[in-house]
Amino acid sequence: MKIYIVRHGETPWNKKKLIQGQQDIPLNDYGRELARKTGEGLKNVPFDRVFSSPLQRAYETAQILTEGRNLSIETDDRLKEIKFGAAEGRSIIEARAEKNDPIGNFFDSPADYQPVEGGENFHQVRERGMEFLKERILPLENQCENILMVAHACIIRSIVSGILELPLKEFWAGPPYKNCCVAILSCENGIIQVEEEAKLYYELSDK
């Protein structure tokens, strides 16, 4: 069984480099364009089941990716982005420029990240991501050949790094997770492996 995990398309907050977390921000037109191009790249993959974060930027991406297919989109709260609590809406650039700012550690020193009020830590996000795989995806191995999941950068990286058993300090190791990038996993005899990370089906020069 193959599992394709797609990050949502671009939003206005992505473009402005604002911290989204679980704020329900919609796609912008460029984000929809990226989703259409990614859907074209995946058109020959016959998906059996589709799962999505319920946040609209992920759900609309899933709708675009599966347009013209007779597939329902199943949502699960465990696929939501990490919750940043009181930090949601802040500028990422400004936060990273401030010494000892927790958001700076989130990106630059994940082992030292401590969330602000109302936020989640990396362990909590990885736990719910791996729980989702175990409870919703692994049981489908003998029923499905291809699964599509649409989610967010941190939860996808939590799943991938959990499978790879990376220490927290290496959470962001590997390629950047750009909008509509695809992580491709394989599942055989109950064992999930990472085949490819952050694959793009559009040209970087598009933006």
Known catalytic residues are: 8, 81
Q: Which helix (H) or strand (E) holds 129?
A: helix 122-132
Which burial class, exposed, middle or buried, applies to 75 when counting CB atoms under 10 A from its CB (0-12, 13-18, 19+)?
A: middle
* Helix 56-65, helix 29-41: angle, nearest 10: 40
Whole-number Å distance between alpha carbons of 35 and 109: 31
Whole-number Å distance between alpha carbons of 79 and 155: 7
* Helix 153-164, helix 122-132: angle, nearest 10: 80
Cβ contact 86:116 at 8 Å: yes
